Structure 1
Amino acid sequence: MEDWKEYRLGEMIQCNPQVKLEKGKSYNLIDIDSIEIGSRYVKGKELTVYDGQSGCHFQNGDTVMARITPCLENGKIAQVQCESQKGFGSTELFVFRGTENKTDSDYVFNLMSMQFIRNLAANSMTGASGRQRADLGFIKRIKWNFPPLPTQQKIASILSAYDNLIQNYKKQIEALQTGACELYKEWFVRFRFPGYQTAEFENGIPEGWKIERIGNIGEVIGGGTPSTENEEYWDGDIPWLSPVDLSDNTNVYVSRGGKNITKLGLQKSSAKMMPKDTVLLSSRAPVGYVALAKNPICTNQGFKSVVCNTSVIQPIYLYFYFRMNKNYLQSIASGATFPELSGSMMKKLKVLLPQMELQKEFSKKANIFISKAELLSEQITNLTQQRDLLLPRLMRGALEVH
């Protein structure tokens, strides 16, 4: 490490570099919601006409990092990989890029992703509570021991191999979930279910099927949040979910969120313990995130979950029903401050109920897709843990690279 040298970040990294965009031309737009925690790359949203809007400018290979709380602390950081090659985005994003003959842009992404750097950036925050923002000037002054450019590239190559494999597995998971969704649509939207050729229809639906209200086929359960001022309510062994825990969830099943509560916290709040296979539906901020409970779990008040009466409806069927009807759920939500699905609205919501035999057959086939996706998800977790262990050791020179 004799040839490693300490510099301030601003001396080695381009911070919010200039990117020239043409007015009237379309580019990919990146906002904070575009960035998925744990995913290296962000492609941006649909092409949007640039007319001089304020905000950050970037090009492929740049690193975009949230500067506002709590997005910065939560790890909203990614490397740009968008169709338009250049783009623009939120004013709440910093942009970082390698400097020619000094730093590699892939190395820069890994450096800015380090918990150590993000913690320092978070410590620089100023502003009103809940809207604090990191100080770019402070970030530029952070000191770091930089290796020579060829070593940076070797380090980045090792870490990129993990990220690319993780990305590949995520694409496979997406394909499997698309397959399960297509099966649902084929059977229950297009009505091409097994035996449909000889099925009789009555009032627009197959004979023997029903339309029933949620309140009649399961128990609708809300949630609650223990007081954050009482430490005895938190860091226990009871899984507790908030909608943000499902915002980046790619799995059908979820076992826990970012926080756990204690038995006392459960007792002293309106949170309720729900059994395995409960259909967890976010009912506000935003409406429509859905998952199945992999184990007993509770949620905050941003959910209206359904414990299914399995003699009339299969949880997996209801999961896909909610997933396929997300736009409709959002359209019927109401509220002065933010749209919300109330408990009474959920209970009145109508669901198409195929015959139980067909639901079970669908659940069995859908589980083939889901099980394969779960295995891939476990591999992603293992790879992520390995990468996260390697990251600080490689970046600090504790491991030799050849």
Structure 2
Amino acid sequence: MVEWKEYRIKDLGEVVTGNTPPTSNREYYGTEYKFIKPTDMVEGQRFVSTTEEYYSELAYQKYKKCLLPPKTPCVVTIGSLGKKMCLTDTECFTNQAVNAVIPNKENDGEFLYYAFKASVLAYVKQLDSGTTSGRENVSKSSFSKIKVRVPPLPTQQKIASILSAYDNLIQNYKKQIEALQTAASELYKEWFVRFRFPGYKNAKFENGIPEGWKIERLTKLVGIKYGKDHSKLDDGNIPVYGSGGIMRYCNKALYDKETVLIPRKGSLNNIMYANRPLWTVDTMFYSIMLRKNFAKYLYYVLSKIDMESFNAGAALPSMTTEILSHFKIIVPDNKTLELFDNKIALIFTQIDNLQQQIANLTQQRDLLLPRLMSGKLEVK
């Protein structure tokens, strides 16, 4: 039986707190090294693929003692505690809201990432001292003293290999989804922006659009409906949508047909498409299609509009039915709409299948994680 021992984080490696170079000197910012901030991290996502800002070579020279090697676990310790962490995939830097642990030779960085995810992330929330400008905060000293149970290095590597296999598959499927989404978006642009739709070479154009196509007001093409509050709904498998996406799941559907969801408050540009029963909150609009094969086309039309430029709110970005009623949309002929709908439907089906695979893998990984980290499930 492999023996697991308890160590303080500072005994597992070097704890490094990041820095933010003076923003007044833009020479510190460039393209050379990722500069990871909490806002760059995605909850539940292992790596940070791109960052909002990068260190320059000048910043590297100034802060090189804080350079993090690949496979260094990083945990947010200022603001939004207990939610975000990541694993570095290249040499990079972080800001002061992040504490990273460069593992010593007795420990594996990838294993520590999963160990921290299993226990440290939630525990960090409990250590909040709240002394940094009123924000949630855990000092480097307190973070360093958190205790973690770890096995010998060979077992660490085996466990990390098992769990990373799940995350590698998930990452691969996400890349496939991104490629499919790009392909679908390019198809829309090719047909309806560049007007290279099937038969375009023989098409006649009138007033800048193909003959047989029209320009119509949005509200003549779809019915715009308000979402409803969801506080009294029981848990279930029906997604509840807000302007940020799926908020939770409930047991009752507000609408069960193909629709395009339009944020009424908040993230106005986050247009969403759905083709299954759903509930949407009162800060959202859902649309009822008045034309056949129109939903997928409408999704791409609205996705290409900067909805925030029509903001009617002050403190909170807002959209109104009055504003939407003035939107005018190019409407292709029925044949072109049907062809586009069929092609996009095939892509959406592939995306749905991949998303289901991701959900299954995520569930399996999350069930396996505590069992492996408890030491009760022995690995060979």
Identity %: 36
Q: Distance in 1 between matches of 2:329 and 2:137?
A: 44
Instruction: Please list, as runs of the form range in 1=range in 2, the aligned pairs for 1:38-187 lying within 5 A after superposition.
Output: 38-45=44-51, 48=54, 58-67=68-77, 71-73=80-82, 75-82=83-90, 85-89=91-95, 91-92=96-97, 94-114=98-118, 116-127=119-130, 131-134=135-138, 136-187=140-191
Aligned pair 1:293/2:303, yes or no? no
Contact 2:30 2:53 in 1 (8 A): no
Q: CA deviation at 1:95?
A: 2.9
- Which stretch of structure 1 is more off in the superposition, 354-363 or 140-149? 140-149
Amino acid across the alignment from 1:343: T
CA gap of 1:135–1:281, structure 2 versus 1, over 3 A, is: farther
Which residue identity does 2:128 align to in structure 1?
Answer: M
Residues of 1 paired with 2:188 and 2:30: CA distance?
A: 39
Name the SS of the counterpart of 1:391 in structure 2: helix
Aligned: 1:314 with 2:294: yes
| 8 A Cα contact 2:241 2:247, kept in partner | yes
Gaps of 5+ in 1: 228-232, 247-256, 264-271
Matched, 1:276 2:254: no
Q: Is the 8 A contact 1:19 1:58 kept in 2?
A: no
- What residue identity is the alignment partner of 1:132? E
> 1:401 is matched with which residue?
379
- Helix, strand or coil at the partner of 2:284: coil
Match of 2:24 in 1: none
Deviation track 1:133-157 (CA, whole Å, cap 9, x = no partner) reads: 4455443333222111221112111
How far apart are 1:203 and its partner, in Å? Answer: 1.1
1:10 alignment partner AA? K
Q: Deviations over 1:249-292 (max 9, x none)?
A: xxxxxxxx3424577xxxxxxxx923321211234432211222
Q: Answer yes or no: is 1:390 the counterpart of 2:371.
A: no
Match 1:358 to one of 336, 339, 342: 336
TM-score normalised over the length of structure 2: 0.85
Q: CA deviation at 1:341?
A: 2.0
Deviation at 1:206, TM superposition (A): 0.9
2:198 is matched with: 194
Asked if the contact 1:9–1:140 (Cα under 8 Å) also holds between the matched residues in 2, the reply is yes
> What amino acid is aligned across from residue 63 of structure 1 in structure 2?
P
Q: Distance in 2 between matches of 1:20 and 1:242?
A: 33
**Gap regions ≥5 residues in structure 2:** 22-26
Aligned AA (2:336): L
Paired with 1:221 and 1:57, the residues of 2 have a C-alpha distance of 52
Distance in 2 of aligned mates of 1:234 and 1:153: 44
Q: Of residues 338, 351, 354 in structure 2, which corresponds to 1:376?
A: 354
RMSD over equivalenced CA pairs, Å: 3.2
Question: For residue 7 of structure 1, what is the aligned residue in structure 2?
Answer: 7
> Counterpart of 1:119 in structure 2: which amino acid?
A
Residues 211 and 350 of structure 1 are in contact (CA less than 8 Å); yes or no, is this contact kept in structure 2? yes
Superimposed CA distance per residue, residues 290-328 of structure 1 (whole angstroms, 9 cap, x where no aligned partner):
2222323222343233222134x6111111222233xx2
Partner of 1:251: none
Post-superposition offset of 1:166: 1.1
TM-score, normalised to structure 1's length?
Answer: 0.81
Shift in CA distance, 33/280, structure 1 to aligned 2, threshold 3 Å: farther
Contact 1:62 1:105 in 2 (8 A): yes
Alignment partners' CA distance in 1, 2:268 and 2:195: 27
Aligned CA distance change for structure 1 residues 37 and 307 (closer, same or farther; 3 Å): farther
For 2:234 and 2:14, how far apart are their aligned partners in 1?
A: 40
Spell out, residue by residue over 1:93-126, the C-alpha distance to the aligned partner (whole angstroms, 9 max, x if none). x232242223211111111211x33222222234
Pair 1:331 & 2:309 matched = yes
Q: Which residue of the partner structure matches residue 259 of structure 1?
A: 248
Q: Deviations over 1:161-184 (max 9, x none)?
A: 111111111111111111111111
Residue of 212, 218, 221 corresponding to 1:214:
218
- Contact 1:98–1:108, Cα closer than 8 Å, also in 2: no
Distance 2:346 2:170 in 1: 21
Paired amino acid for 1:216: K
